[in-house]
């Protein structure tokens, strides 16, 4: 199948007048890096001035990367709500005419994306294909001296989960990497992959955390807070009709998807939300992912030892039986758990609904956008073997390993830092179902 295969999205962000276009463009700074896990990669990517892997006295010997799939369509429930609930809200907007003329023009022109809830849910879109293809091109440019020009199964290992969006992310990345479509030998894709989607195999995590209502306790408290009630009231007043929290969140989701789909426009639904409302909604997502996929429960990130065991097996392999360049294409849940396993973006306090005003590192709009990537590079240097970690293609220190202000880490120090957790990675034992624990008071 062709690597160019994407879903064409008929986006509602087609702007009908010059005035309407400027209205959306004025909102650019408001939505930038405030779209949660639906943030497009172009909002978070920043080119580095110096090539981080071209270091004097060092040569690249191996890489191991986790890549989240690119921008996709919404899930079925959201597509249904866009076609049903959002159309009703649009009609209320046009009826009450509370918005400025330029904004009303946008909503008159708006129609829901032409998506079939059954066949189009979560499929990779054109922007998602572009994201991965461009990442592949930049990877080729940075690693050119180390990478073979053409694909061969001895040097390269590609794998994706059993989803369309992960498969075509892999295919588009490889297209960018090699410049042409290669006949890549992909292993069998698994819905429950022990490396790419280990949490699907962790029944205890699924019961005690993923599907445990208590895990959403902080999010629920946030949506009942005075600040969120004020924001719901604020948006309702702007439209001219009462909206509940679910409707406000649907507007936010639609704003995010429609903005992510198209490079040059901002969705008209974003215009209903000001900077403070965005911050409040983003904080709700930060809370949700902190407690489900992040630092909220030790089991959540401890189970990622299954993936990092694979990294060390490949990096420590010296007999040539393991490929030198490993590329895994997966999902948000894997990337966030991997970051928590590494200790990245960890604040010195547990994130709760009371922390809206506090400065924090855990911001999913920045750390878990579409096409988010974590890449480890092993380098043989003149004095010792080192390891480099990049996140969103920029070097980041490995917590507990790198010296302050430095991103290169001794590979031996890196191995020692994680040795105990990797060697004691009793995945089946930690993931065996147990009694659901009661939530500790914070």
Using DSSP's 3-state secondary structure scheme, residue 441 falls into coil
From residue 156, alpha-carbon distances to 140, 152, 238, 239, 269 in Å are 13, 6, 54, 54, 43
Using DSSP's 3-state secondary structure scheme, residue 7 falls into strand
381 pairs with which residues across the strands? 58
The model scores a pTM over 0.85: yes
Relative to beta strand 325-330, strand 156-160 is parallel
For residue 1, the model assigns a pLDDT of: 47
pLDDT in tens, 391-412: 999 999 999 996 777 899 999 9
| Non-local CB neighbours of 321 within 8 Å, separated by 6+ positions | none
In whole angstroms, give the CA distance from residue 2 to residue 388. 33
Long-range contacts of 219-223 (CB under 8 A, 24+ apart): 219/284, 219/287, 219/288, 219/291, 219/353, 221/352, 221/353, 222/283, 222/284, 222/287, 222/353, 222/356, 223/284
Using DSSP's 3-state secondary structure scheme, residue 111 falls into coil
In whole angstroms, give the CA distance from residue 231 to residue 225. 10
Query: What would the two tokens of residue 352 be?
Result: 């709760």
For residue 287, the model assigns a pLDDT of: 98
For residue 25, the model assigns a pLDDT of: 56
| Non-local CB neighbours of 73 within 8 Å, separated by 6+ positions | 7, 9, 79, 113, 115, 120, 121, 122, 123, 125, 257
Per-residue H/E/C for 289-319: HHHHHCCCCHHHHHCCHHHHHHHHHHHHCCC
Query: What would the two tokens of residue 70 be?
Result: 């690119």
27-75+120-214+275-431 CATH pick, 3.40.640.10, 3.30.1130.10, 3.40.50.1240, 3.30.420.40: 3.40.50.1240
For residue 435, the model assigns a pLDDT of: 60
In whole angstroms, give the CA distance from residue 252 to residue 39. 11
CB 259 within 8 Å of CB 80: no
The residue whose two tokens read 């401890």 is 302
For residue 19, the model assigns a pLDDT of: 43
In whole angstroms, give the CA distance from residue 303 to residue 42. 30
φ and ψ at 374, to 5 degrees?
-125, 120
For residue 24, the model assigns a pLDDT of: 52
Q: Which of 380, 393, 408 is nearest to 324 (CA)?
A: 380
Region for 97 from its dihedrals, namely left if φ exceeds 0, alpha if ψ lies in -120 to 50, beta otherwise: left
Radius of gyration of the chain (CA): 22
What length is written for the chain? 442
The residue whose two tokens read 């490995």 is 398
In whole angstroms, give the CA distance from residue 314 to residue 61. 11
Query: What would the two tokens of residue 49 be?
Result: 């001035």
CB neighbourhood size of 127 (10 A): 23
Residues 81-96 as b or e (16 or more Cβ within 10 Å = b): bbeebbeebbebbeee
Which stretches of the chain drop beneath a pLDDT of 70? 1-26, 28, 402, 435-442
Residues 59-69 as b or e (16 or more Cβ within 10 Å = b): ebebbbbbbbb
């Amino acid at each position: 199948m062709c690597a160019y295969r994407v879903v064409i999205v008929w986006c509602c962000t087609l702007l009908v007048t010059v005035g309407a276009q400027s209205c959306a463009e004025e909102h650019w700074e408001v939505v930038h890096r405030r779209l949660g896990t639906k943030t497009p990669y172009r909002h978070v990517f920043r080119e580095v001035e110096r090539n981080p892997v071209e270091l004097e006295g060092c040569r690249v010997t191996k890489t191991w990367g986790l890549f989240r799939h690119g921008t996709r369509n919404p899930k079925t429930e959201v597509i249904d709500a866009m076609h049903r609930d959002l159309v009703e809200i649009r009609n209320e907007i046009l009826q009450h005419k509370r918005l400025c003329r330029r904004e009303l023009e946008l909503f008159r022109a708006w129609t829901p994306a032409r998506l079939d809830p059954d066949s189009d849910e979560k499929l990779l879109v054109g922007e998602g294909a572009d994201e991965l293809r461009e990442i592949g091109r930049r990877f080729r440019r940075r690693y050119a001296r180390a990478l073979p020009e053409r694909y061969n199964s001895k040097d390269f290992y590609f794998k994706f989960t059993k989803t369309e969006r992960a498969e075509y992310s892999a295919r588009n990345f490889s297209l960018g990497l090699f410049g042409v479509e290669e006949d890549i030998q992909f292993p069998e894709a698994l819905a429950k992959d022990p490396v790419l989607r280990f949490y699907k195999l962790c029944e205890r995590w699924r019961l005690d955390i993923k599907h445990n209502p208590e895990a959403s306790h902080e999010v629920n408290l946030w949506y009942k807070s005075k600040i969120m009630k004020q924001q719901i009231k604020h948006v309702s007043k702007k439209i001219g009709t009462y909206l509940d929290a679910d409707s406000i969140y649907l507007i936010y989701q639609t704003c995010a998807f429609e903005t992510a789909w198209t490079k040059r426009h901002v969705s008209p639904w974003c215009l209903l939300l000001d900077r403070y409302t965005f911050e409040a909604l983003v904080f709700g997502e930060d809370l949700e992912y902190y407690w489900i996929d992040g630092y909220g429960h030790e089991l959540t990130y401890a189970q990622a030892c299954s993936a990092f065991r694979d990294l060390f097996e490949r990096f420590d392999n010296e007999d040539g039986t393991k490929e030198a360049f490993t590329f895994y294409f997966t999902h948000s849940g894997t990337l966030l758990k991997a970051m928590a396993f590494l200790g990245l973006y960890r604040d010195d306090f547990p994130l709760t609904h009371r922390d809206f005003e506090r400065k924090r590192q855990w911001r999913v709009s920045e750390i878990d956008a579409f096409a988010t990537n974590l890449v480890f590079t092993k380098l043989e240097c003149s004095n010792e073997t080192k390891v480099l970690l990049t996140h969103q293609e920029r070097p980041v220190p490995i917590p507990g390993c790198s010296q302050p202000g430095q991103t290169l880490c001794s590979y031996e120090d890196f191995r020692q830092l994680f040795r105990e957790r990797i060697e004691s990675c009793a995945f089946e034992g930690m993931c065996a179902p147990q009694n659901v624990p009661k939530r500790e008071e914070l």
